[in-house]
Amino acid sequence: MPDISLTTLVLLCVAALVAGWIDAVVGGGGLLLLPALLLGLPQVPAAQILGTNKAVAIVGTSGAAVTYVRKAPVHVKTAVRIGLAALAGSMGGAFFAAGISSDVLRPVIMVVLLGVAAFVMLRPSFGTRAEADRVPATRARIVAAIVLVGGGIGFYDGLFGPGTGTFLVLALTAVLHLDLVTASATAKIVNVCTNAGALAMFAYQGSVLWQLAAVMAVFNLAGGMIGARMALSRGSEFVRGVLLFVVFSLVAKLAFDQWS
């Protein structure tokens, strides 16, 4: 573990706890966890920051996924298929990432996110159980989810990355007509698959601070399980509120990165 102060370690653990909660409810915990690691460990190479982030996040995501699967109507087989497609898509996105400027992508993503926020606010039935029951997930929709949601968002994750978990929840809700709680649960399983692939690569390269990751992972796991339980008990309206907060936070972060 790098030489860091007790204060920094405590702040990183708090960030891991909150990030786990956000990630479990609606995705987007990396918006907090990754900047916290970058600020707390300025002397550590970026590759090790990214690898440690994945090692922490996969624990909280796995805990949230297990909590959801026990209590939410999640089709695990479909989720794993989407996850494997996302894993393949992320590898393809990473291959092309070197030739794409993030300065070009950020404004596009901001416009898309603002459009999504407007859609969610103007359509109160989006992601509710009533809408999910009205439009069942057909075989064609499942195939579309595997190809478009898994492959497409996986490609985006490898190419650029910010907000992948949130995009997964929104896309799964739209394509499979899941309620927001079930979409969050399904997204967690997909995230486990993609995080596992990325972590394996970082571990192979020796780019993971395992001791620090182990300490932070305990807090991330606690946050993930608490977030999943709150989403299950409070329902889609609660998830909807957190979703809009995360979307606007992501837009603000992208705008800051673009013009700062």
Could you tell me if 173 and 183 are in contact, meaning their C-beta atoms sit under 8 angstroms apart? Answer: yes
Could you tell me if 211 and 67 are in contact, meaning their C-beta atoms sit under 8 angstroms apart? Answer: no
Model confidence pLDDT, tens digit, residues 197-226? 888 888 888 889 999 999 999 999 999 999
Which pLDDT does position 133 carry in this prediction?
A: 52
pLDDT band of 116, cuts 50, 70, 90: confident
Q: How far is CA 209 from CA 20, 153, 252, in A?
A: 19, 28, 30
Mean pLDDT, the chain, integer: 84
What is the 3 state secondary structure string of 83-121? HHHHHHHHHHHHHHHCCCCHHHHHHHHHHHHHHHHHHHH
- Asked if the model's pLDDT at residue 87 lies above 70, the reply is yes
Give the separation between CA 220 and CA 22, rounded to whole angstroms.
10
Q: 178 in helix, strand or coil?
A: coil
Q: What is the DSSP letter of 44?
A: S
Q: What is the average pLDDT across 179-192?
A: 88
Q: Which of 85, 73, 67 is nearest to 177 (CA)?
A: 73
Give the separation between CA 188 and CA 66, rounded to whole angstroms.
9
Q: How far is CA 206 from CA 11, 41, 201, 214, in A?
A: 25, 17, 9, 15
Q: What is the average pLDDT across 69-98?
A: 84
